[in-house]
A = this chain, B = another copy of it.
Amino acid sequence: MAEKVTEAFRILQENANDLYLRDHVAEVEGPPDPLEFHREWVSPNVPVIFRNAARGFPAFEKWSPEYLREKIGGQNVTVAVTPNGWADAVSDDGHFFMLPEERKMQFSDFLDRLDDDSQCNPIFYMQQQNSNLTGEMKTLIGDVPPDIDWATSAFGQMPDAANFWLGDKRAITSTHKDPYENIYCVIKGEKQFVLSPPTDLPGMPYKTLPVAKFNEVKSTKDFKIVPNEDHTRWICPDSDQSLPIRLKKLIAKVRAGDMLYLPSLWFHQVSQSHGCIAVNYWYDMKFDIKYAYFSMLEQLCSDSVIK
């Protein structure tokens, strides 16, 4: 029976690869028509880069460090601080799921710290995902739109959240998935996404880990690891070589002016050039037949199945 389930995983991945996935992330010049976007990309759950689709945003011309210092330099923002660049990720020793220290600071101080390349400087990343673009950073609306018009038309609703991202080249977002349809717009610099489809779930080395938080000790500048009461399931790379399938990994390099459509439930690891600025729009995903199938796959991948 275990072999039968493994064979089902293999057929799932093989059909996904042969029938509708590609060996690279598709690229289209400019923004799509809403119906074509829904038919060709959303409904089949396939990522695509719309090259230069964000060039029309005023932010594309305006968002220099000087402009941002002037416009929002005095504003308090929330920044993720870590000693190693890994926030929301497994600790170096593999024992904890690490949350970053969340530090309030003036935006201009944050930019100063980003420019400081002294060795003892921790790594700073504005990476909040609480719709900070319509919250803390709402004075920037106008430079970027409150929604992506063709996506709003395709999804039939406004985004659920819009987030502002700015950070260090050493900051890495570890592999995870979101229950959202994601339109990711790079304004300055470049982001790199490593993408694996939801159908690769059986190849994802999930483990349950205790949760801890980084906390910088003011006197020594060292970071303590402070466990809390929670546990979470997270993907622990290289923790398990016995998984039934090998992951497909697609690389998406999203440059200034581009938009990435990152479909719901796709696994993604994200890195970036230093000082890269991006905004993303999360639209609610549909909990439809695709999600029902995914929930079945999750059940089949639960620990007691394969092992």
Contact = CB atoms under 8 A, between A and B. Distances in A.
A217 interface: no
22 contacts: A4-B5, A4-B302, A5-B5, A8-B296, A8-B299, A8-B300, A11-B295, A12-B292, A16-B289, A19-B291, A20-B286, A20-B287, A20-B291, A35-B38, A35-B153, A38-B39, A198-B289, A199-B289, A289-B290, A293-B293, A293-B297, A296-B297
Category for how many chain A residues contact B: 35 or more
A20 B199 contact: no
Contacts of A198: 289
Contacts of A205: none
Given A153-B35, A296-B9, A1 B305 contact: yes
A289 B20 contact: yes
A23 interface: no
Q: How many copies of the shown chain assemble into the complex?
A: 2
A302 B8 CA distance: 10
Given A11-B299, A15-B292, 4 more contacts: A8-B299, A15-B296, A16-B289, A19-B287
Contacts of A39: 38, 154-156
A273 to B, nearest CB: 32
B15 A197 contact: no
A286 B44 contact: yes
B286 A43 contact: yes
Name which of A2, A15, A16, A36 has the most chain B CB atoms within 10 A of its CB: A15
